[in-house]
Structure 1
Amino acid sequence: MIIEGIDSPVDLKKLGERELPSLADEIRVLLLNKLSEKGGHFGPNLGMVEATIALHYVFDSPSDKIVFDVSHQTYTHKMLTGRAFAWLDSARYDEVTGFTNPAESEHDQFTIGHTSTSISLALGIAKARDLQGAKENVIAVIGDGSLSGGEALEGLSVAGEMGSNFIIVVNDNDMSIAENHGGLYTSLSKLRATEGKSADNIFSAMGLDYVFVKDGNDIPSLLTAFRSVKDSSKPVVVHIVTQKGKGYKLAEENREPWHYAQPFDLGTGKPRRVGGGENYGNISAEFLLGKMKNDSRVAVITAGTPTILGFDKKRRDEAGSQFIDVGIAEETATAMASGMARRGGKPVFGVYGTFFQRCYDQVQQDVCVNGSAATFVVCGASVWGMNGVTHIGWYDIQMLSHIPNLLYLAPTSVEEYLSMLDWSIEQDKLPVAIRQPSNGVVHSSRAVRKDYGDLSYDVVKRGKDVAIIALGDFFQLGEKAVESLSASGIDATLVNPVSASCIDGECLKELAKSHRVIVTLEDGILSGGWGQTIASFFGAESGVKVINRGYKKEFLDRFKADDVLLDNRLTPELIASDAAAAL
């Protein structure tokens, strides 16, 4: 195989141009083999094979700097920069990450997993280069879907007045994760239809030179385009039109579900591990569609991830104008929710915890300062959520629970989740965020309240000496810890605190009268978190020992949930042991 002889772009450049299509075919086979076995970002990587080969054939990485947006399209880049072993040898499949990583290679500029950042990051490299009088090429690679993010548009605007070498490769496959949304895509559509000749050119309007490549999967066309801009003295956009999922018919014809794939059978496309039963996406979507049908003011907002609340294409069509996809623009989604609430609407914005981090200012300023009664559903904020360092979502408690006027609810079951969601949508007094459970779909026969305006804690089981206060999806962990304590003769109390943002002082004072040890459990970082707030309520003078259990403040990558729980003494047995020892 050709790829076996490539350890760096230097080796790639030794090939004749006629050999490059064969190399692309080899790479695509390797991608399909590994992706079908391990899963991963599917469509983006298959679509970028030829463009990545051409980039490394023309430019001189690592002296020339290539910055990939999101970096979910970098598998070919990794193969060409000394990491092909992770696709050639199935025993080594797990030895490289799914995103760019400078710890792996000098050809990777940043660890990146969030979208719309590449232009701004590359601008910084280019500016530092200019200040030092250097001459290398700086290339930002970004997909059309990522252009909807505010940072990408800001970067384009700044790039327009760079006045020096700066190359932006726009990979246009007419698709984000789902379909693109936003007025700028009208401009891209016209550029595709006119082969780059349309006067409606957003890039030219930003002051950038422009090169169009009709077939971004044709290596000769790509080589010509990249050579024409190499060592340019001014900023330029190379707009390439590619096929998302190229080389796998099912992915070409069904681009949304094949953006990311779990392990699957290569011949049939069917998943190797068939999921079953309920999930919070379907539960949320069916509940919200019911609300929409009964009230035209109810609307669901997404920022480019519609299935996070279960809205696949069929459900989006059913919801019609009451479902709003703003593109990858969490800040706009948040501010829009505030505006809708102020005008009497009932907006629900669902988003992964890791992406909710991108709109902190809008939550604080546009929503909470104004007291807008919008509803936010925070998903995957958990050790059981996504496990890549760029996609960890468990910093949400520190971010949201300390903002004035914002109520951050933490349901412990499906029934409590739906009750909180219903109450939040119907009330008009304050903004509410709901931390969707991530420990599987857990049903409960316990009665749930219908009003969350007065947030007293729920004492689910009364005991003495030890009280375990278990937040949200750690409630079931608390139940098991109480059972473990009972087995050792300690009759412990179990409390559901309902919210991560409220302190029930009366309940805590009552607990202090008959309990010597309080244990808090939270599915999040300990430092500055909910448990430490409980500990500070008691203080050193109360005579109550408080044990806080959550996660250490650290960046973890590709971790196993059970390992993290064990490392932080978050098993029923260890929690019970620590509580008993504290007595």
Structure 2
Amino acid sequence: MFPVILKIPRQMPTTLLFDQVDGVVDLRKLKLEQLPQLAYELRLALLYSVGQTGGHLGAGLGVIELTIALHYLLDTPNDRLIWDVGHQAYPHKMLTGRKQAMLSMRQAGGLAPFPKREESPFDAFGVGHASTSISALLGMVLASNNPLARHVAVIGDGALTAGMAFEALNHMAHCQANALIIVNDNDMAIDENLGGLATFLDDHHGYGGPSQWFTALGFTYRGPVDGHDLPQLMLAVSELVSLPGPKLLHIHTLKGKGYGPAELDPVGYHALSKIDPIEVVVTKKGPTYAQVFGKWVCEKARTDDRLMAITPAMVGGSGLEPFAKEFSTRLFDVAIAEQHALTLAAGMACEGAKPVVAIYSTFLQRGYDQLIHDIALQDLDLLLAIDRAGVVGEDGATHTGAYDLAFLRCLPNLLVMAPSTATEARAMLSFGYAYCGPAAVRYPRGEALEGAPLVGPIELGRGQVIRSANKPNAIAILNFGTLLDKAAALAEAHDATLVDMRFVKPLDEILLQQLLVQHNGFVTIEDHSRIGGAGSAVSEWLVQQKTQVRLLCLGHEDRSLPHGNREQVLHSTGLSEAAMTRKIKAWKTRLFAE
């Protein structure tokens, strides 16, 4: 047996066997008795790599043996292999010809943090959000032109709790599709795996457990199998892929396997910051927006017993850990089940509770029908605390909150706010909580700009002028959200009026009407897609006024955003200070030439 690793290597470790494996062809040349040594060296290499770049660690350490077994036994990429969510896919990338590029992981221009079809033919399906693998795999089976191809999906990290996974299992059984589903059961999502399904998968209660259920559904079931026992694991995989019809292999793994600290703290080591950073990382000076929210929700809960907090498997990420300790009976972690989270909140609101749903922008997308039908149309009294709105940086396009304003502002009865600072975030959360009806506050990942104290209290649908231009017929910069510091610099450089709009819905039409009198151009700034966002709302209003005032909308370009640090991504999408300066100068040249 190989020793448990206790430290992350500061220098590239000696990996004599792994050095010989530049892809799956080399892997398949190894003897079976060499594979445990390869697993140990792959763990060392993974620890070093993630220590340099940051990124997801625990799940990848837990599937080292599974990754080796699958690529050794399957004919990938001709056989299709999908990793659900993609948290666990770093070893997959390292064995499929990308190990030399691992130090570019999550860096601008480098490897993507999740499987990505454009990056490699071995990435059969692009992922990043949970519970999509079984549906995608079934689609591949039904449309495949290769009758000899084998199809395998690995689902874990809590992804089996989502309704979509059950919908796909049901359809797969109905089709009797020839595919293998591997349930990587490590008792964890990002946080501890919760709910009846987690208990159900634990086959120690004497009521049949998963074997009975999956068999009744129409699957050939094997398990539970020790996911770190390579001979046993390879035997089970070999047997099942040779059988016809739908199969399910249930394996037990340990998240963080082989790295002592991660085995003891799988939540803390789900993802890792850089240990020896490739580039200088600025130390945070203030709280994150998630921490601002976490402190606020605890303070509010102490004064209002109606407050119930709901999150879909994001207690830690949303800043709810202090709330969980102080108000455990009023926190509802529903696991990866965004649709259920929203309708659960709707039901609570019907009974007089005041639900606060803490949810990431890109995960709110997954419950959009419930947001429309169950919350907005019924005008129910609850608060959406929308984290990770806008650019998230290294996690890339699948985690960037680029579309929430577009899909929120079109809904009836919904109040939509975009704070520019930590101070405003606190005030808007309190305002949204006190508001009678559905309200949303969107804020980004990372450090919260404290900024100056509020000039005045939050008033429904009212913005505030922060700087007035010193000349007539100037431009007015309308800022929506946390790019205020960049907007302020632009306003100084162009002697422009600067407005912190605060509300996306309703717009401050009174203030906009006043600005029309003294300005011949508006510039909107938002960390959001230019299409359908706050700038579009201003454009729609200007059209209704039949005015000659020109408008420049600055937001995300109409394409998928790359990964990299926040400033790099903002620059690539035209929202760095330098990029916006160039756009405003070119626009003003055309404006005043007319």
TM-score (norm 2): 0.89
CA contact (8 A) 1:382 1:523 kept: yes
Q: CA distance change for structure 1 residues 167 and 279 in 2, over 3 Å: closer, same or farther?
A: same
Of residues 273, 276, 288 in structure 2, which corresponds to 1:279? 288
Q: AA paired with 1:359?
A: G
* Paired letter, 2:187: D
Q: Structure 1 residues 26 and 444 mapped into 2: Cα distance closer, same or farther (>3 Å)?
A: closer
Structure 1: runs of 5 or more not aligned = 487-491
Distance 1:315-1:543 versus aligned 2 partners, 3 A rule: closer
Check if 1:506 corresponds to 2:519.
no
1:11 is the counterpart of 2:26: yes
Pair 1:146 & 2:150 matched: no
Structure 1 residue corresponding to 2:237, chosen from 214, 219, 226: 226
Check whether the contact 1:172–1:242 (CA below 8 A) recurs between aligned residues: yes
1:350 match? 358
The structure 1 residue matched to 2:264, chosen from 253, 256, 260, is 253
CA-atom RMSD, angstroms? 2.6
- SS of residue matched to 1:255: coil
Query: 8 Å contact 1:39–1:261 — kept in the other structure?
Result: yes
User: Secondary structure at the residue paired with 2:486?
Assistant: helix
What is the CA deviation profile of residues 271-330 of structure 1, one whole-angstrom value per residue up to 9, with x for unaligned ones? 998645322222221221122222221111111111233123x54132211111000111
Change (3 A) 1:93 1:283: closer
SS at match of 1:114: coil
Secondary structure of 2:398 counterpart: coil
Matched-pair contact (CA < 8 Å) for 2:345–2:355: yes
Match of 1:111 in 2: 126
Match of 1:39 among 54, 60, 65: 54
Which residue is equivalent to 1:481?
Answer: 490
Give the partner amino acid of 1:212. Answer: G
1:216 maps to amino acid: G
1:396 pairs with one of 404, 407, 429:
404
- Correspondence list, 1:196-275, <5 A: 198=209, 201-264=212-275, 275=284
Match of 1:489 in 2: none
Count residues with an aligned counterpart: 566
* SS of residue in 1 equivalent to 2:511: helix
Q: Which residue of 2 aligns with 1:545?
A: 550
Partner of 1:172: 185
TM-superposition CA deviations, 1:250-271 (whole Å, max 9, x none): 10000101001111279xxxx9
Indicate conservation of the 8 Å contact 2:113/2:394, yes or no: no
When residues 334 and 207 of structure 1 are mapped into structure 2, their CA distance, relative to the original with a 3 A threshold, is: same
Residue identity in the other structure for 1:39? G
With over 3 angstroms needed to count, the CA separation of the structure-2 counterparts of 1:352 and 1:385, relative to structure 1, is farther
For 2:24 and 2:86, locate their aligned partners in 1 and report how far apart those are by CA, in whole Å: 18
Given that 1:569 and 1:575 are in contact with CA atoms closer than 8 Å, whether structure 2 keeps it comes out as no
Q: Hey, what does 1:65 align to over in structure 2? A: 80
Native 8 Å contact 2:201 2:209 kept in 1: no
Query: Contact 1:213/1:239 (CA < 8 Å) preserved in 2?
Result: yes
Q: 1:206 Cα deviation (Å)?
A: 2.9
Q: Does 1:321 align with 2:336?
A: no
Residue type of the alignment partner of 1:96: L
Instruction: Write the distance in 1 (CA, Å) between the matches of 2:539 and 2:103.
Output: 52
Does the 8 A contact of 1:387 with 1:560 survive in 2?
no
| Structure 1 residues 295 and 97, CA gap change in structure 2 (3 angstroms) | same
Structure 2 Cα separation of the partners of residues 28 and 199 of structure 1: 30
Separation in 2, partners of 1:442, 1:140:
42
| Residue 532, structure 1, aligned to residue 536, structure 2 | yes
Quick check: 2:392–2:399 contact (8 Å CA) kept in 1? no
Deviation at 1:505, TM superposition (A): 2.5
SS at match of 2:175: coil
Q: Does 1:523 align with 2:527?
A: yes
State the partner residue of 1:160: 173
Contact 1:416 1:448 in 2 (8 A): no
What is residue 313 of structure 2 aligned with on the other side?
Answer: 304
1:574 to partner: Cα distance: 3.7
Name the residue aligned to 2:467.
461
> Separation in 1 of the partners of 2:584 and 2:123?
45
Q: In structure 2, how many angstroms separate the alpha carbons of the residues matched to 1:434 and 1:564?
A: 23
The SS at the match of 2:406 is helix
- Superposed CA offset, 1:120-169 (max 9, x none): 1001111123xx57132111110051111121121122222232411100
Indicate which of 164, 171, 187 corresponds to 2:200.
187
Instruction: Give the 3 Å change call, closer, same or farther, for CA 86–288 of structure 1 in structure 2.
Output: same
Change (3 A) 1:198 1:401: closer
- Of structures 1 and 2, the one with the larger relative CO (CA 8 A, separation 6+) is 2
- Look up the match of 1:81: 96
Helix, strand or coil at the partner of 2:494: helix
What letter matches 1:323 in structure 2?
A: L
SS in structure 2 of the partner of residue 518 of structure 1: strand
Q: Which residue of 2 aligns with 1:442?
A: 449
Contact 1:517 1:579 (8 Å CA) reproduced? no
